[in-house]
Amino acid sequence: MYPTNGPPPPPFRPGTVWRAARWARMTQEDERWMRRAIEIARSKGSHPSTAPLGSVIVRDGREIAGERNQTSELPDATAHAEMMAIRRACEGIGEEELRGATLYSTLQPCGMCTMASIWSKVGRVVYGAGRDDVHAMYFEAKHVDTLSFIADAYRDDIVIEGGCLRDECAKLYYPPDADLPVDEQANL
């Protein structure tokens, strides 16, 4: 599914940002957890209007949190899937740091959730669909790619990788060229 031609991927180094699917080397384990995130995302429907975003946090091969976004249900503008998963994971293990954990998200995390990932001390963020795979309504800033938040973080023990089950994840969302009415656009 991923491109195999072209130059080989760069060697793994903490802090390396592998741009989208081009360098992504997902394992079967990654795909398994992303399938779980997709399942959670679809728990209230899979049409884009139901905002199906899912996030799973895994540590030592075990799911320590799995949440979907709950912004309208709570209501809470910060209740993105990743934020909810970080909260549940910290509550569950009774610690504020999630070192050694991987956070999976069906969509590239927004700025808030990317920063929360940095603060939570997860070691790895894996996402499915990327910024270019979906409509701009899913992101808060026009020209800021939040991948650089992790590239520029003081921490050098966090990586972000995209493109895990990208096509399946992208199908959950409005495509880049969707002609959406203004009141459907979450970022306006």
Which active-site residues does the annotation give? 82
Q: Least Å distance between CB 101 and Zn ion?
A: 17
- 84: left (phi > 0), else alpha (psi -120 to 50), else beta? alpha
Q: How far is the CB of 116 from Zn ion (least distance, A)?
A: 8
CA-nearest of 105, 103, 154 to 127 is 105
Q: Is 170 in the site for Zn ion (CB under 5 A)?
A: no
Sheet strands (E) in 49-101: 54-59, 62-68
Rule CB under 5 A: say whether 110 interacts with Zn ion. yes
When binding is defined by CB under 5 A, the residue of 113, 129, 165, 169 that contacts Zn ion is 113
Nearer to Zn ion, 80 or 131 (CB): 80
In the chain, count H helices and then E strands: 5, 6
Q: How many Cβ atoms sit within 10 Å of the Cβ of residue 130?
A: 20
> Residue 131 interacts with Zn ion (CB under 5 A)?
no
Q: How far apart are CA 118 and CA 123, in angstroms?
A: 8
Q: Does 57 bind Zn ion (CB under 5 A)?
A: no
Among 40, 55, 67, 80, binds Zn ion (CB under 5 A): 80
Tell me how far, at minimum, the Cβ of 114 lies from Zn ion, in Å: 8
Closest CA to 80 of 140, 22, 132, 124: 140
Residue 68 as a binder of Zn ion (CB under 5 A): the answer is: no
User: What are the residues binding Zn ion (CB under 5 A)?
Assistant: 80, 110, 112-113
